[in-house]
Structure formats: structure tokens, C-alpha cells
Amino acid sequence: MQSFRTELENPIVEKDIIDLEKKIRAFREGKIHDEKFRSLRLARGIYGQRQPGVQMIRIKLPFGKITFKQLVRIADISDEYGSRNLHLTTRQDIQIHYVSLERTPELWAKLEQDDITLREACGNTVRNVTASPASGIDPQEPFDVSPYAHATFEYFLRNPVCQEMGRKFKISFSSSDADTAFSYIHDIGVIPKLKSNGERGFKVLLGGGLGAQPLLASIVEEFLPEDQLIPYIEAIIRVFDRYGERNNRNKARMKYLIQKIGLEEVLRLAEIERTAIKVKSYPINRDAVPQPVLPEQTTFAEVSISNPFRYEQWLATNVFEQKQTGFYGVYIKVPVGDISSDTARELVKVLQPLVADEIRVTQNQGLLLKFVRKEALPALYEGLAKLELAAPGFDSVADVTTCPGTDTCNLGISNSMTMARVLEDLIYNEYEDFIYNRDIKIKISGCMNSCGQHGLAHIGFHGSSLKAGTKVLPSVQVMLGGGTVGDGIGRAADRVIKVPSKRATDVLRTLLDDYKELSTEGELYNDYYDRQGGKDYFYRLLKPLADLTSLTDDEFVDWGHQETFVTAIGVGECAGVIIDLVATLLYESEEKLGWANQSFQAGAWSDAIYHSYNTLLSSAKALLLDKSVNTSTQAAVIREFDANYVEKGEFDIEGSFNDLVLQINQHEPSEEFATAYLAQATEFLEKSKAKREALVQ
């Protein structure tokens, strides 16, 4: 590993990678518990695949931004370590599949040479911060949200407050009231607002999420000044970390904490946390994300268009005028989000003389190009057409979003990717006029967890199964009526009916035929859906397709498969894991205390305090497990330790454990408090280890 370590300029990153290598070695030697190791690698973007012995690597691209050089680097990495394919995700990440665990530190080091990270792409952390792909060039935007998304990513990366939460935490930045980053389905979603005096701020939404039980976010701030955004987010995350569920992963998201204790209580607790935050105001560097370098070429040779009709369709559906006069944004439709590494390299060659050096991954698994001159559009189209990347209908009915499904995901029930291709082909071949319709969105997930965002689709499908006698066949749950309304308002799709997977094409035909026949001129799909009577009407419309009395042998075989369907669901890793082994927790406490000391020596008082806080909690939880007290929140750890140890006189501390721990939200993060709190955490850990030793003996 020495050969690549010396090439890294960032000592923090280098330490991360060396630590990963050591942890992999310790895991292989049986020195780290499997569940603990899983948690550790997930926080470093390493996710177990459905196929045993290989990993999916998720590359974290803040707000989907990537340069030509970075894209080529990722393509080369996929060739060397993976399957020669790049998968674009709905979270604006890129995934590489079929990577050996032992090679992940080396892979990470090579990515970091071009400032690309894996850190906190998975696991119980702040996930990739997403944003409207058109931010910076969007004609409707009050201002560019890119610098704010970048500042949020930087502030929370490796931040102690969000390294081991109960579950993941998702943040989005929409560029305008059109809400193209879907603020209403995020833990925190923000929309830019501009006052008449030029003051910048954000509308803030809290507690949204999809999954098996979709809940829409609540509006908590109509106008939060820009310098208050990051302190506000940190206060909310601190509350989520302390009070959020940690045992039952199905109830561990922010939306469930709000259901449990109420929105007003969450906001009250967040206000208390403001004292402990290291910055009370966080001004944003508006120049942190400069506009990309434009191509030097300003004149272009005439190009003969190979397919004039398709070119006109492409101009109408994939190209728009930027807010910058004389330039155009161009969307690339990437079928099922997959692009081979060879195609990625060829794409960069096509783009370099024609577009600015910045690509954005979009939430529907496509790409956005920026600063294209009108004269360059013919050459760009022809270059994309040769790579089969010039299909019209971006973000239309013909642009189906999908998760990987059973191709690689442990939780996948059905083959969502093949189904997506089949449905797209159906649109192009039978309903070509719908490529101009950008109102209706079709989204597919391989299971109920909504990674393909079926929960916000106008027409959605998620993988499931049905029993027909003694046999099981692949099926899809049909979801209808979801989508974005605007300015923070959205709709969750209704579960309407479940049908065999192979009938998804008939479902789509039935729905589109009904819409064409019965909608009024210019009527939006959800207005038509409501006017027709919503779920009940569409249940009756689709009910004949749910009839299982006339099944064919083919319907027992999933899309893209030849073998008979079986429900084979693995252990999902989307949410990380729960660690409740006493020895492991005390080991973790020592590790966290080490981080506290390192932060203290670096003068990072707030970080040292939070690491000390986690040392106290891990130590207390370890001792509680010795009494078979398994707590589900950090707040419960505090309460139960007092009840089971302090109040019974079994652990000697001055005052209560509650008073000791919750000093954290009563003091400014000063050197004086960091010194005292670190000393108290050190003493508490030593007493906990002594107590444990006495119990064992």
C-alpha cells in the first residue's frame, strides 16, 4: 500500500484510508466483529452486493458535480477494480460494482488523487447532499444554491455529530420553487428565497422520507437567513442523534422521531442544542463553486445531421436556454443509469471542445451539460448519437427511473432494470408523442424501499410477489398519483393494486390509453387522477390485470430471467447495523476517547466535546448490556444508566449521569469546557472498564 499512500496530499484522507486497510486486515483475522466491521465499511462507501464476496462502491459526488477528469478517473477505476460500468443513482452518486474488499483502500486512494471521496456515501451518516442539477444556470432560480450545498457537504463530512446516528440523514437543495430536488421527501429540504432588499435565505422542510411508509416533510421555516442554515441543520442532527431510534431500523428515520415526540418538541430540543454548536452564524462563501471553465472554441464547422427528425425531437426535449444569455443546457438520457467505462471516456472526448468542464448527475439518473453555444448543438448531437446517448425525451414518460433491483441489491425482489428498459421501449414504439410529456414520471424500485423513488411517481411500480396456489410469481405493486406540486409541496403515490410483473406493460398501456381518451386539453396527470376518482377508479380499471386464473408459464419468470422466480432477499445494508456487544462497545469507547484527544490537541473544541459525549454513551451502553438492558436511543441510555447503576449505588459519580452527559448542550464549545468534559469522559471510561472487569470476575 505504500506506493499510493505517498501520493496523497491530504493527511486526514490518508489516515482514513490507512485505517480502512488496518480494519480490513483485523476483520479477516477475526479481531473485529462482523457487525461492527459492516458499520465501518458502510460509512466508507463500501456496500455488500447480492453476489457473495464482492462489494458495491458508492462514490459521493456532492450535488452531482463532476469534471471531465474525474469522470475519466472513475471510468479507469471501474476498469481496474470493477465491472467496467458506471451506475448513476437517484442520489446523484456514481456506483461501481463487483469490487474485492481487499482492494477498496487502494481504489479509494486513487480516486482521492482527483478529489473524489467514498467517505459517508453509505451508512448511518449524512448522505450525499443533493441539489437541482440545473443550479447555477436555472432561469427560474433566485440564486445559485451550489455553494450552499457544497458548504453543507464540507461541514458535515467527518463531523462527529453525524458519524454514528441511528440511521441515514438526507439533505436536498432545490434551485427554485419548481422543487426539482424534491425537498418534501428529505430529512431536511431547502428552497432558495430572495427578499426584495436582496437578502438571501431558505424555506426549510423537515422530516420527509419515502421507503415503505412515505411521509411528506413539514414546512418549519418560511425564510431562514443564509448564515443560519448550517447551524440550524446541525441542531436538528444533534437532536436526531440523541433521541432517534437505534434498534428498530424500520423506525429509525427522522420522520419517525417527529411522529413519536411531535414536531414542536423536536424544534424545542433543537433550540436547546444551539448553545453547544461551535458556530452561531455560518456565512457561506458564494464563490466556493465557481462557474466551470468554458471551451475555448467559439466557432464550429457545419455538421450534417444524420436524423433531422430525431434532432428536432432532441432539441425540443433535452435542450433549454440557460439564464446566461447565449448558452444552453443539454440533458443526456442514460438508460437505467448505466454507462460503460469505455463510453464514459468517449463521451468526454466528444464534450471537451463543445461544453463547459462540469457535468451534473441528475436525480433521474441522467447527465446535464452546461454552457453549450447554439452553434455547437449539431456537433454535440451527432457526437452523442454515435455513442447512443442522444435519445430524446429526457425526464419524460419515456425516461424511467429505476434502482438496480435484483441485478446487485441484497433487498431486491424483482428485476427493475429490465422492466424499465421494456417500458421505455413501449413508449418509444407505441406512444411516441409522450416523449414530449414531462409531467408524468414513471419510477420503479426492486422492493418497497423506494430507492427508485416510486413513492413520488405519477406511475410507480415496486417489486413484490404473489401466491398462485402453491407457486410464487414475481409481481409489482402499482403506485399512482404521486409527484411534485411545487414550493415544498408534494404528493405521495397511492398503493392501488398488485399484478404479475409481466403485466406491467399492460398496466402502462391501460393507464396511458385512459389518460389519452379521458383527460382534458392540457390537463396535468394528477388533476386527471383526482377528477377520475383517484385510487378507487384506477383499482377498478386495473383489476382485470390482477386476475390469476389465467397465468402462463412465462409469468412465473421475472423480467430478464430464464429461471422460475423465487423470493430470495438478503440482509439489507442501507441503514447500517446495531452494535450491542459489551467488549466491542468498550473498545469503541476507547477509540472515541482517542479521537477526542486528537481533536483537543488540534484545538477543535467542539469536535473534542462531541467525541467525549460519545465516549460517555458507549461506555454506559456497554454496562447496561451486562444487565441485559438494551436501549433504543441515546436518551434512553442516559435514563437507564441512572436507573440501573447510579440510583442503585452501583456506579459512583457526582450527581446523576444525566447531569454529567447533558452538560454538552448547556455550555459554549470553549477550551475550558472541552478540557473539563474530556477529563470527565476519561474518568468515566476508566471506571466503566474497572466495573466490567469486576463483573466478569
C-alpha cell at 513: 390509453
Q: Which of 75-89, 154-168, 582-596, 643-657 has the lowest mean pLDDT?
A: 582-596
Per-residue pLDDT tens over the stretch 528-549: 999 999 999 999 999 999 999 9
Residue 675: other Cβ atoms inside 10 A:
14
- The secondary element (H helix, E strand) that includes residue 636 is helix 634-641
Closest CA to 689 of 611, 618, 606, 596: 618
Residue 36 lies inside a defined structural domain of this protein: yes
Task: Please indicate, yes or no, if residue 295 is contained in any of the structural domains.
Answer: no
Residue after which a domain boundary falls, among 556, 590, 624 = 556
How far apart, in whole angstroms, are the C-alpha atoms of residue 568 and residue 561? Answer: 14
Q: Bridge-partner residues for 401, per DSSP?
A: 443
303 within a domain of the structure (yes/no) = no
| Cβ(306)–Cβ(382) below 8 Å | yes
Angstrom CA distances, 442 to 195, 489, 512, 525, 622, stand at 36, 19, 12, 12, 47
In order of 557, 567, 657, the CA distances from 464 in angstroms are 13, 9, 47
Q: Give the 3-state secondary structure of residue 442.
A: strand
Which amino acid, residue 576?
A: G
Arithmetic mean of pLDDT, 238-267:
95
Q: How do beta strands 442-445 and 459-468 pair?
A: parallel
For cell 411517481, the residue is: 457
pLDDT above 90 for 457: yes
**495 and 446 assigned to the same domain:** yes
Measured CA to CA, the distance from residue 662 to residue 319 in angstroms comes to 54
pLDDT band at 32 (very low <50, low <70, confident <90, very high): confident
Cα separation, 623 vs 643, whole angstroms = 12
Is residue 685 within 8 A of residue 593, CB to CB? The reply is yes
| Mean pLDDT along residues 392-415 | 87
- 454 located within any domain: yes
Cβ 212 vs Cβ 448: under 8 Å: yes
**107/140 same-domain check:** no
Tell me what pLDDT residue 42 has.
83
Domain presence at residue 566: no
Domain boundary among 386, 410, 432: 386
Looking up residue 348, the CATH number of its domain turns out to be 3.30.70.3340
Termini Cα distance of the chain: 42
DSSP strand pairing (483-486 vs 489-491): antiparallel
Average pLDDT, the chain: 92
Query: Does the CA dihedral 231-197-489-120 come out positive or negative?
Result: negative
Q: What is the dihedral of CA 458, 459, 462, 465, to 10 degrees?
A: 140
pLDDT of res. 532: 97
Q: Which pLDDT band holds residue 3 (cuts at 50, 70, 90)?
A: very low
Greatest CA separation for the chain: 87
How much is the pLDDT for 1?
A: 40
Q: Answer yes or no: is pLDDT of 27 > 90.
A: no
Give the pLDDT band of residue 53 (cuts 50, 70, 90).
Answer: confident
Indicate if the alpha-carbon torsion angle 362, 365, 366, 367 is positive or negative.
positive
Any residues with CB less than 8 A from the CB of 256 and at least 6 apart, and which? 245
Question: Is residue 118, in this structure, part of any structural domain at all?
Answer: no
In a domain, residue 292? The reply is: no
Q: Could you give the CA distance from residue 380 to residue 366 in angstroms, rounded to a whole number? A: 16
- Decide if pLDDT at 435 tops 80: yes
Q: What is the pLDDT of residue 415?
A: 86
> Do 546 and 587 fall within a single domain?
no
Q: Are 495 and 505 within 8 A, CB to CB?
A: no
Residue 39: pLDDT band by 50, 70, 90 thresholds?
confident
Main-chain dihedrals φ then ψ at residue 84, nearest 5 degrees: 65, 30
> Residue 2 has what pLDDT?
42
Residue 411 half-sphere exposure toward CB, CA atoms < 13 A = 17
> CB–CB of 238/276 below 8 Å?
yes
- 3-state SS class at 364: coil
Q: Report the half-sphere exposure of 168 (CA within 13 A, side-chain side).
A: 24
Strand bridging mode 459-468 / 471-480 = antiparallel
Same-domain status, 264 and 380: no
pLDDT of residue 124: 92
DSSP secondary structure letters along 178-200: T-TT-GGGSSEEEEEEE-TTS-E
Residues 65 and 190 in one domain: no
Write the CA distances from 696 to 623, 625, 643, integer angstroms.
11, 13, 21
Residues 6 or more apart in contact with residue 208 via CB below 8 angstroms:
183, 184, 185, 186, 187, 189, 215, 216, 217, 255, 490
Query: Is residue 234 within 8 Å of 277, Cβ to Cβ?
Result: yes
Q: How far apart are CA 593 and CA 17, in angstroms?
A: 20
Q: Is residue 353 part of a domain?
A: yes
d(CA 153, CA 230): 10
Does residue 690 surpass a pLDDT of 50?
yes
Q: Is the pLDDT of residue 506 over 60?
A: yes
List the CATH number of the domain containing 19: 3.90.480.20
526's grid cell: 394528477
How much is the pLDDT for 165?
93
The pLDDT > 90 percentage for the chain reads: 78
Summarize pLDDT for 552-577 with one digit per residue, the tens.
999 998 888 876 666 654 445 554 43
Query: Which position has the grid cell 447551524?
Result: 231
Between CA 564 and CA 555 the distance in angstroms is 9
Mean of pLDDT values over 47-68: 92
Q: What is the rounded average pLDDT of the residues 278-307?
A: 92
Residues 92 and 158 in one domain: no
Amino acid at 684: F
Alpha carbon separation from 227 to 187, 268, 282 (Å, rounded): 20, 20, 5
Query: Distance between CA atoms of 417 and 422, rounded to whole angstroms?
Result: 9
Q: Does the pLDDT at position 634 exceed 90? A: yes
- At residue 201, the pLDDT reads 98
User: Does an H or E element contain 18, and which?
Assistant: helix 11-28
Q: Mapped to the 3 state alphabet, what secondary structure does 456-508 carry? A: HCCEEEEEEEEEECCEEEEEEEEEECCEEEECCEEECCEEEEEEEHHHHHHHH
> What is the residue type of 101?
L
Place of cell 407505441: 430
CA distance 439 to 432: 15
Whether the pLDDT of residue 284 is over 80: the answer is: yes
- List pLDDT tens digits, range 322-334: 999 999 999 999 9
Report whether pLDDT(8) > 70.
Answer: no
- Asked whether residue 144 falls in the same domain as residue 237, the answer is yes
Do β-strands 218-225 and 200-206 pair in parallel, antiparallel, or remain unpaired? antiparallel
- The cell for 123 is 451508512
State the CATH number of the domain containing residue 586: 1.20.120.330
Cα–Cα distance for residue pair 93/87, rounded to 1 Å = 8
Instruction: Tell me if 497 sits within 8 A of 543, measured CB to CB.
Output: yes
Residue 268 bridge partners (DSSP): none
Domain CATH number, residue 190: 3.30.413.10
Write down the pLDDT at residue 4.
47
Our count of domains for the chain comes to: 5
Q: What is the mean pLDDT of residues 71-90?
A: 96
Residue range 347-356: mean pLDDT, rounded = 97
pLDDT of the residue at 696: 65
Question: Do both 429 and 540 map to the same domain?
Answer: yes
Among 46, 77, 112, the domain-final residue is: 112
Q: Do residue 154 and residue 256 come from a single domain?
A: yes
How many helices and strands in the chain, by DSSP H and E?
A: 21, 22
Say if residues 461 and 401 touch (Cβ distance below 8 Å).
no
| Angstrom distance (rounded) from CA 546 to CA 556 | 14
Reply yes or no on whether the pLDDT at 412 is more than 90: no
State the Cα angle at 433 between 431 and 437, rounded to 5°. Answer: 105
pLDDT at 580 over 70: no
What pLDDT, on the 0 to 100 scale, is given for residue 566? Answer: 62
Whether 552 and 408 map to the same domain: the answer is yes
Specify whether the CB–CB gap between 490 and 441 falls below 8 A. Answer: no
Residue 416 has pLDDT above 70, yes or no: yes
Lowest-pLDDT range of 8-12, 71-75, 359-363, 527-531: 8-12
- Beta strand segments in 4-155, E: 46-48, 55-59, 65-66, 85-88, 94-99, 130-131
Q: What angle do CA 47, 50, 51 make, to 5 degrees?
A: 105
Which of 153, 165, 161, 223 has the alpha carbon at shortest distance from 190? Answer: 223
Residues 152 and 263 in one domain: yes
pLDDT category at 473 given cuts 50, 70, 90 is: very high
CA distance 188 to 220: 10
Q: Which domain holds residue 631?
A: 582-696
Q: Does residue 220 share a domain with residue 79?
A: no
Grid coordinates given for 663: 452538560
